[in-house]
Amino acid sequence: MTSTKTCEFVSPRHPDKLCDYLADILLDAYMDLDPKSRVAIEIMGGHDNISVSGEVTSNARVNIENIIKSILGEKYSVKIYISQQSPFISRGVDNGGAGDQGIMIGYASSETKNFMPLEYELARKLCNKIYSQFPFDGKTQVTIENGKIKTAVASFQKTSSVELEKLVRNLISAEEYLINPAGEWETGGFDADSGLSGRKIAIDNYGPEVGIGGGSFSGKDWTKVDRSGAYMARRIAVDLLKKHSAKTVRTKLAYAIGKKKPVMAVAEIDGKEEKIIGYDLSSKGICEFLSLGKIKFRRTAAWGHFGREFPWG
């Protein structure tokens, strides 16, 4: 039986990832000054314009425009549309409940050392290695068939296709290489396209082969369970994979707004379902267990949220 899988990855200079970074660096700015801040920020950017929207309730005073211009440059026009958190949401969170309803998926696989899907890890590593030589906007994509690499794709701004292909061939052995398949390109990032935070949710999670809950991460504090719950779901998946020496583990958490405990907490261990027990799955419990109050969330905005040196694995 043939098994074919493909995963893409993008560099930190991709417009969507630039927006994720801006959202998380603003989140960090609020949390550094007021750890009790409630933050849900979304960024849209491109062509010398940045729009910041969302809800913030905080005692901190953060100069959003100055922070963004310090990163992108003075030429950018920054428009800010921020209000306080809805009272309907805050009264539920104040009582220790979840900041929203939603479903969070965790995953762990034994096919790589960091428990990530093989096609995901190949695409990420390739993108990372290329970016270390060419720190620009760019994408990679890797297709595997029965564990063997069939096709490697790389498109990077400001690169010679000849030089890029030489680098890619040294980094990964594939049957086919597609290097700058639409031709070489000089203009990238916000100069070439618009970006939006939370748009690369497959890359932020486990790639397209693993179902995800749908919530985005960047710009959200730990009371938002679509972020903290997803991190906890991953941690539990890794714990159970190790405990049972399993091939794959998929965990599922579901929350109702304002309620402390999830309405669903189950794990599929090599396809067999069992309930998740032994963890405090309230947002506060997750924050304490994973030390989310000490995390600089800007570090998560590039290179994916899982399979790295974070407490959730």
Q: Note the pLDDT tens digit of each residue in 214-255.
A: 889 999 999 999 999 999 999 999 999 999 999 999 999 999
Distance of CA 285 to the CA centre of its chain: 22
DSSP state of 98: B
What is the model's pLDDT at position 142?
98
CA distance 206 to 203: 6
3-class DSSP state for residue 268?
strand
What pTM was computed for the model?
Answer: 0.95
Structure tokens at 225: 């369970």
What is the model's pLDDT at position 2?
84
To the question of domain 4-10+118-188 being in CATH 3.30.300.10, the answer is yes
pLDDT tens figures, 264-294: 999 999 999 999 999 999 999 999 999 999 9
In the block, residue with structure tokens 């930190």? 12
At the top level of CATH, which class does the domain 102-112+206-300 belong to? Answer: alpha beta
Residue range 26-44: mean pLDDT, rounded? 96
Query: Residue 88: is its pLDDT beyond 80?
Result: no
Share of the chain above pLDDT 90, in %: 90
pLDDT tens figures, 186-220: 999 999 999 999 999 999 999 999 999 888 999 99
Query: Residue 87: is its pLDDT beyond 70?
Result: no
In the block, residue with structure tokens 């950018």? 76
Query: Residue 211: which of 239, 235, 186, 230 has the closest Cα?
Result: 230
Give the chain's mean pLDDT: 95
**Residue 274 burial (CB < 10 Å; 0-12/13-18/19+)?**
exposed
Polymer length of the chain:
313
pLDDT tens figures, 124-160: 999 999 999 999 999 999 999 999 999 999 999 999 9
In the block, residue with structure tokens 């905005």? 301
Query: Residue 270: which of 243, 235, 307 has the closest Cα?
Result: 243
Distance of CA 310 to the CA centre of its chain: 12
Alpha-carbon separation of residue 104 from 33, 43, 241 (angstroms): 29, 22, 18
Query: Residue 41: is its pLDDT beyond 90?
Result: yes
* 303 touches 30 (CB < 8 A): no
Share of the chain above pLDDT 70, in %: 96
* Fold entry, domain 16-88: GMP Synthetase; Chain A, domain 3 (3.30.300)
Same fold for the pair 4-10+118-188 and 16-88? yes
Domain boundaries defined on the chain: 4-10+118-188, 16-88, 102-112+206-300
3-class DSSP state for residue 259?
coil
Structure tokens at 231: 């991190």
Q: Would you put residue 270 in left (φ > 0), alpha (ψ -120 to 50) or beta?
A: left
Query: Residue 106: is its pLDDT beyond 70?
Result: yes
Query: Residue 60: is its pLDDT beyond 90?
Result: yes
The tally of CA atoms less than 13 A away on the side-chain side of residue 214 is: 5
CA distance 15 to 72: 12
Query: Which residues have CB under 8 Å from 244's CB, separation 6+?
Result: 269, 270
Query: Residue 14: is its pLDDT beyond 80?
Result: yes
What is the model's pLDDT at position 176?
98
Instruction: Name the E strands within 218-262.
Output: 248-255
